[in-house]
Amino acid sequence: MSRHNRLRAISIALSAGAAVASLAAVSCIKEKDSLVIVSMTSEVPIPGPITVHITVGPVTQSFEIAGGLSMTMPTQRGVYLDHGTTGSQVVTATTQGGTPCVTYGPMLPQTVIIGSAGDVKTTSLTLVHTGTCGGAGTGGGSKND
């Protein structure tokens, strides 16, 4: 094999190796999930322990909050959104706890804009009293005051 052909063969082998390495690197890239950090307070102190259900667009996650919610000291929790979730996302939070059979929801739902995968957004919600449970022993439903 001539020197020119050997150099050509080495060049082709190196190019093929670089292409394989490049494809391997691309296949290892993980799409980034977005994160929405929700900072919550309440219109009145809600003693804990309580469970807060935070919804951001299509995702709802539940969080146990041992200390309840304060009027002045925000409690923050993060909700991850799949890398394919972008655009305008409505953020709400609800809870039942603190005082038996009292429910709380957001004063005003908020909206965050997820521009692309991997975005991190923050928003604030103030939870207000939205209702109480039915009569003694019913254990269900909520009615507005």
Same domain flag for 80 and 125: yes
Q: Give the residue-averaged pLDDT of 33-51.
A: 92
Q: Are residues 92 and 50 in the same domain?
A: yes
Task: Indicate if the pLDDT at residue 2 is higher than 60.
Answer: yes
- In sequence order, what DSSP letters do the residues of 71-113 get, joined into one string? SSS-EEEEEEE-TT--EEEEEEEEEEESSTTEEEEESS-EEEE
**Is residue 138 situated within a structural domain?**
no
DSSP state of 143: B
pLDDT over 80 (residue 1): no
End-to-end Cα spacing for the chain = 92
Regarding whether 81 and 43 lie in a shared domain, the answer is yes
| Same-domain pairing of 65 and 127 | yes
Domain that holds residue 123: 34-132
Confidence of residue 47 (pLDDT cuts 50, 70, 90): confident
48 in the same domain as 110: yes
Q: Are strands 87-97 and 102-106 parallel, antiparallel or unpaired?
A: antiparallel
Length of the chain measured in residues: 145
Check whether 38 has a pLDDT greater than 80.
Answer: yes
**pLDDT at residue 98, rounded to an integer:** 55
Instruction: Judge if 87 and 108 occupy the same domain.
Output: yes
- The answer on pLDDT for 139 being more than 50 is no
pLDDT of residue 92 exceeding 90, the answer is yes
Please report whether residue 9 resides in a domain.
yes
Instruction: Say if residues 80 and 59 touch (Cβ distance below 8 Å).
Output: yes
Is residue 124 classed exposed, middle or buried when 0-12, 13-18 and 19+ CB atoms within 10 A define those classes? middle
Which comes out higher in pLDDT, residue 19 or 46?
A: 46
Which of 23-32, 97-106, 124-133 has the highest average model confidence (pLDDT)? 124-133
Mean pLDDT of 83-104: 83
Kindly report, residue by residue over 19-36, the tens digit of the pLDDT: 445 444 554 556 799 999
Are 72 and 53 within one domain? Answer: yes
Looking at the 3D structure of the chain, how many domains does it have?
2
Residue 55 has pLDDT above 90, yes or no: yes
pLDDT averaged over the chain? 78
